[in-house]
Amino acid sequence: MPDSSNDVDLKPIHGGTMPYPEAMDLQRHLHARVVASQSANYLLFVEHPAVLTLGKHADVAHLSLDRAGYLAQGVELIQTDRGGEVTAHMPGQMVVYPIVRLSTYHLSPKRYVAGLEEVVIRLLAGYGIEAQRDPEFPGVWVGRDKICAVGIRIKERVTMHGIALNVNNDLALFSQIVPCGISGRGVTSMERLLMCRIDLDLLRRKFAEKFLALLSVGQGATDGRAPLQWLEGLSTI
C-alpha cells in the first residue's frame, strides 16, 4: 500500500488501439494484481475499434439493429459486467480504465464516480469547454449533449471499467443506439465543439495528472507528488 510519504502508487499505461475483449482481459489481469498485492494501481488508456457495449442490466430496446445488422457494418456488440446501458466506442475516443483500490484513498463508490466526473470537467475546462454534471443522468454533459460516459464496476473493493470521452471520434454510431438509455439527448465531442483535432497523447497525460490529484487528495496529500512513470506498451506491465 502507499506509504506515509503520501506518494500515490499509480501506473498509467498507454495501451494503444485494442479490441474490447482484449482490453477486458487486461483489466481482469490488472485487477487481480491489485487485489493480490494491495500495491500499485493502474490507469489503462486505450482506443477501441468500433464496438457497442451493454451494461449487465442493459435494455436491448435501446439498440436500433440486431447483432447481424451491426456486424454487417463491422461493429461488434458485447455484453459487459459494468453498470449502465449501451454505449459506443470507436477510434478517436479516449477510453480510461482505472484499476484502483478505493479504500486506500478513502473514496466511497459515490465519491469515486463524482471524482471521475470532476476530473473530466476540469480537463475540459482547460480546453475552454464548459461541461457539467446532470442531476438526472450520470456522465459529463455540455448543455444537453453528453461528451463523456461513465460506467464502473467495483469488485473486491477494486475498480474496473471507467470513462469514455468523445475527443476526435466519428459520432455517427451513436445515432444507431439510445446512448446510455437516455432518450431526447444528444452527444458531442471535443473536436466538434472546438472545430479542431485534439492531441490525444497530451490529453491522456493531462487526464492522468488530474486523476493523480484526485487520489492524492483522498489520501491526504496535496503537493510534493512524484512524477508519473508511464508504462508504454503491454510488454512493460
- Average pLDDT, whole number, for the chain? 89
What does the alpha-carbon distance between residue 31 and residue 23 come to, in Å, rounded to a whole number?
12
Name the residue with cell 477510434: 91
The alpha carbon dihedral of 67, 18, 54, 62 has a sign of negative
pLDDT at position 179 is: 84
**Domains of the chain: residue spans and CATH:** 10-236 (3.30.930.10)
User: How many C-beta neighbours within 10 Å does residue 190 have?
Assistant: 26
Give the pLDDT score at 84.
82
Catalytic residue among 100, 180, 212, 215: 180
For residue range 12-34, list pLDDT tens digits in order: 999 999 999 999 999 999 999 99
Q: What is the mean pLDDT of residues 4-15?
A: 75
pLDDT of residue 124: 98
Query: What's the whole-model pTM score?
Result: 0.91
Confidence check: pLDDT of 70 > 90: yes
Query: Over pLDDT 70: what percentage of the chain?
Result: 90
Confidence band (pLDDT; 50, 70, 90) for 228?
A: confident
Sequence-separated (6 or more) residues with CB below 8 Å from residue 59: 85, 181
Q: What is the pLDDT of residues 141-191, one digit of tens each?
A: 999 999 999 999 999 999 999 999 999 999 999 999 988 888 889 999 999
Q: Would the pLDDT of 51 be above 70?
A: yes
Rounded Cα distance, 41 and 46, in Å: 16
Higher pLDDT, 236 or 186: 186
Catalytic-residue membership of 148 = no
Q: Please give the pLDDT value at position 219.
A: 52
Rg (CA), the chain: 17
